[in-house]
Amino acid sequence: MCGIAGLWTEDAEAGGAAFAAAAREMGSLLARRGPDDEGHWSDPSGRAQLAFRRLAIIDPTPAGHQPMLSRDGRSVVVMNGEIYNFQELGRELEARGVTFRSKSDTEVLVEGLNLFGLDMVPRLNGMFAFAWFRPADGQLALVRDHAGIKPLYYSTTRGGRGLAFGSHFDCLLHTPWGVPGPVRTDVLHLYLRIHHIPPPYGLLENTHQLGPGHWLRARPGHPLETRAWWTLPRDAEPDLPRDGILEPLAEALERSVRRQRIADVPLGVFLSGGVDSPLVTSLARRQTGPELKAFTIGNPGWKQDESAAAAEYGRRLDVDLRVHPVSGEEALAAIDEVRAAQHEPFADFSIVPTLLVSRFAREEVTVSLSGDGGDELFFGYERPRSLLRDGELFRFPRPVRMAAWALGRAGAGPRRSDAVVHRDPGAYYLDVNARISADDAARLAPHAPPPPADFALYRFERFRGLRDLAGFSRYAEFYGQLQRGLKKVDMASMRCSLEVRVPLLDREVIDLSLRIDPFDSLRNGTRKAPLRDLLARAVPRESIQKEKRGFAVPLGDWLRGPLKPLVEETLLDGDLYPSGFFDRAAVRRYWESHLSGERDRKWGLWTLMALQWWARGPGRAAA
C-alpha cells in the first residue's frame, strides 16, 4: 500500500525542472500513505514525471523501491496496492525467460506489462492503482483494480495534451498548470444528494476519478482513451444449486484469505459483531493459529456498540483479540484527524470509528484484513430485501402499486414494502441512499443545476422479472454503496499508514458470488445466508447476529451538544464555498430545525460541513 502521483505531457519540451518540482510536491502530500520510502523518476525526454511514497509490505528491502523499471529499461511503473496472484504470474514469466531481481509484486507487474502490454491487466487479481510509462513511445497508462479498492484521480489540460494523476484528489491542485478549473456545480449537487463524489466525476472542471475496472491511455498525437477491462455483470446466470453452494464458496474464500495473508510485515484482522469480518477471521485463524491478532473498538453506552458480540466471537474463534473502548471525548477529538484525512469532500461520518480502529490496529500491525464487500455481493442490506420482497409489483404502473401499498397500510390487504411507491427501482435506490432530499437540496442551493446528465447508476429501464431486479440491486450496491465504503476505509486507514485488505472482494470470490442465486442469499427472509452458513461451521448459529447493526456514533446529539460551536463556525460565520452557491438563510433554517429537534438533519449537516472543511484545508484556497 502506497501513494502514487505523476505528470504527463504531450509536449516534451514543456517538461523540465518545474515539472520535476511539481511531481515531488504532489508526492509529498502522500507521506501518510507511504512513510517508509519515497522515490521519483524523470523521463529523459521530458514527457513524464513519476512520484512515489512507500508503505513496505512485500519485499520491504531496497529491491522493492519504486518507481520501478523493467530489467531492459523499456517500462517504468508506480503502483499503489498489492497483486495477490503475483507468485503464480511470476512463475509464468520466468518460464518465458524473465529473471527477477526482487521478491516484489511490483516487479512482476512491470515485467508482465513489458511483455504483454495492457493485455496483462485482466490477469491481475488484487487491489491496485498504477501508472505504467513507456519512454520509447511516450505512452502512459493508468489502471485501477476491478472493484475500485484503491483510488486514482486524474486531471487533464490543454485539450488532453497534459495529464496529472494521484492517489489523492488534492494532488491535482499542485500541478504546473495550476487549479484544473472551477467547481462543477452539477457534481456538487450530486455530492449533496449522496454525500460523496462517485466515479468518474471530480469536483472541479477537468478532474476525474478513474472508474473501477478501467484503464486510461495517453499517447502523443492521440486523444485520451478510456476502457473498462472488468465490469460486474447485471445479468449473471447463477448455476449453483442451493445444496451445492457452500463447498465451492468455502474453498474460494479459503484461497482468497490465504493469498491476501501474504506479507513480510505483521498482519491482523478487524473483528466486528456481524458476519463478514468474523468469517474472514475464522478462515485466517484456521490458517495461522491463536496468535492471530484481531482488533475492535467499543463504544460504551452507545446503542450500536458491538464490542461484546465481537469479544464473544474472539473467544469462540480463539484469536488474540484487542478491544479498545472509545470514549465520546476520544471520538470527538478524532474529528480533526478525520478532517485532515479527507483529501476530497466526503461526508460518511462512519469514517470516525473507521479511523479509530485503524489507528488502534496500527499500533501492532501494518496490514489488516477486513470484511468489506460481503453485504454488496451477498445481499446483506435491508435495501435489496425490501426491493425484492414485493418486486413483482413493478410490472404494474405506479398508481396501481401505490394503491396496493395504501391498502396494506389500511389493513385491507398484504402489507407492502415502501419500495413499491417509488417511480421505479432506480428512484428507490437513489432515495434510500440520499442524505439530503431533492426538496432540501433545492432550498439549500436554489440555483444549482441538476446532477450530471450521464450519472446513470440508478437508471432503470423496465421490469424484466425478479432475477433481473436482483441483478440491478447488486449492481447498484456494488457501484454505489461499496464505492463510498471503500473510499472511507482508504482515507481512514491510510491516514494511519495501515493497509486494509478485503478478501471478500477477491476476483475469485466475486465470480463465485455471481453463480449463486440471489434468492438463495435471501433464503427464508434472512440476508447473506451462504456466509451465515459458513460462519456457523466455526461458531454456534445462535451466536450469529441476526440483523445488521453497523457501527455508528451519536452524531445527531453531538451536533446539538459539544459540536454545536463547530457547526455554527463552519456554516454560519463567513462565506460558504463555493461563493454564491448556497442560500445562507436556508442553511440557517436547516440547522435550526435540527437544533430544535424538529428534524434529524445530521447527515445533511455533516455533508455541508465536510465540503467547507475540505475547501478551507491547507493549499486549497485557490480551488
Residue-level pLDDT at 329: 86
Residue-level pLDDT at 618: 77
Residue-level pLDDT at 11: 80
Say if CB 142 and CB 121 are below 8 A apart: no
How would you class 375 by CB atoms within 10 Å of its CB: exposed for 0-12, middle for 13-18, buried for 19 or more? buried
From residue 362, how far is each of 56, 191, 292, 489, 504 by CA, in Å? 14, 31, 15, 14, 22
Q: How far apart are CA 236 and CA 462, in angstroms?
A: 18
Say if CB 375 and CB 276 are below 8 A apart: yes
- Confidence check: pLDDT of 384 > 50: yes
> Which amino acid, one-letter code, is at 4?
I
Say if CB 506 and CB 260 are below 8 A apart: yes
Which string of b and e fits 172-201 if b means at least 16 CB within 10 Å? Answer: bbbbbbebbbebbbbbbbbbbbbbbbbbbb
In this prediction, residues 485-490 reach a mean pLDDT of 97
| Cell representation of residue 531 | 456466509
Identify the residue whose cell numbers are 495517453. Answer: 218
DSSP state of 401: H
Q: How far apart are CA 404 and CA 577, in angstroms?
A: 45
Give phi and psi for 180, each to the nearest 5: -60, -30
Residue-level pLDDT at 622: 46
Picking from 333, 331, 352, the residue whose alpha carbon sits closest to that of residue 341 is 352
- Confidence check: pLDDT of 397 > 80: yes
CATH superfamily of 242-378+476-543: HUPs (3.40.50.620)
Q: Mind listing the pLDDT tens digit for each residue in 535-558? A: 999 999 999 987 666 556 788 999
In this prediction, residues 355-376 reach a mean pLDDT of 97
- Confidence check: pLDDT of 619 > 70: no
Tell the CATH topology of 2-228.
Glutamine Phosphoribosylpyrophosphate, subunit 1, domain 1 (3.60.20)
Strand pairing report for 367-369 and 267-270:
parallel
Residue-level pLDDT at 246: 97
Sheet of 207-209: strand order equals 37-42, 48-54, 2-9, 162-166, 153-157, 207-209
- Angle (deg, nearest 10), helices 276-287 and 246-260: 70
The continuous run of DSSP H or E covering 77 comes out as strand 76-83
**Cα 164 versus chain centre, distance:** 21
Those residues with Cβ within 8 angstroms of residue 412's Cβ, 6 or more apart along the chain or in another chain: none
Q: How far apart are CA 487 and CA 148, in angstroms?
A: 9
Residue-level pLDDT at 453: 96
In this prediction, residues 423-449 reach a mean pLDDT of 95
Percent of the chain with pLDDT over 70: 96
In this prediction, residues 330-340 reach a mean pLDDT of 91
Strand partners for 144: 129
Residue-level pLDDT at 388: 95
Residue-level pLDDT at 301: 64
Say if CB 113 and CB 94 are below 8 A apart: no
Say if CB 43 and CB 135 are below 8 A apart: yes
Say if CB 203 and CB 342 are below 8 A apart: no
Domain ranges of the chain: 2-228, 242-378+476-543, 555-615
Number of Cβ within 10 Å of residue 30's Cβ equals 26
Percentages helix, strand, coil for the chain (3-state, rounded to 5) are 45, 15, 40
**Cα 110 versus chain centre, distance:** 25
Q: When comparing pLDDT for 308 and 139, which is higher?
A: 139
- Confidence check: pLDDT of 134 > 90: yes
- Confidence check: pLDDT of 73 > 80: yes
- Confidence check: pLDDT of 516 > 80: yes
- Confidence check: pLDDT of 168 > 50: yes
Strand partners for 214: 228
Residue-level pLDDT at 517: 96
